[in-house]
Amino acid sequence: LEIFRGAAQRMAKKYDGYVVASSADGGHWVLVFGSAENAVLWGLGMLEAMLAAAWPEGLLDHELTEEVWEDGVLRTRGLRLRIGIDCGAAMIRLVPRTGRLDYV
């Protein structure tokens, strides 16, 4: 997950977003962006980052993380991502521990 975390944080910074929540196992993240466009660009950037990542030896041998090619195009490689984007009005609150806003 370190490869994912690093890519997610780099992409968030690139597209003016930040992480507001993540699950204990690291498999679920919530990020906030200033625009829907930046959220979409983050998602596309993450998909590209997963294709290009230097995955540990043997990881790509597993059926859940192997390379998948369709019509000569590499579609997935490494961790599989599910990315959802929601936009619109949100309720916010300040998180004292981080000094950042939380969105619900």
Q: What is the pLDDT confidence band of residue 91, given thresholds at 50, 70 and 90? A: confident
Query: How many CB atoms sit inside 10 A of residue 17's CB?
Result: 20
pLDDT number for residue 104? 74
Q: What is the pLDDT confidence band of residue 9, given thresholds at 50, 70 and 90? A: very high
Range(s) of the domain holding residue 71: 2-103
Give the list of residues 6+ apart from residue 50 with CB closer than 8 angstroms, or none.
4, 7, 76, 77, 78, 79, 80, 81
Q: Tens digit of pLDDT for each residue in 43-76?
A: 999 999 999 999 998 999 999 999 999 999 999 9
> How many domains, in total, are found in the chain?
1
Over residues 36-48, the mean pLDDT reads: 96
Largest CA distance in the chain: 51
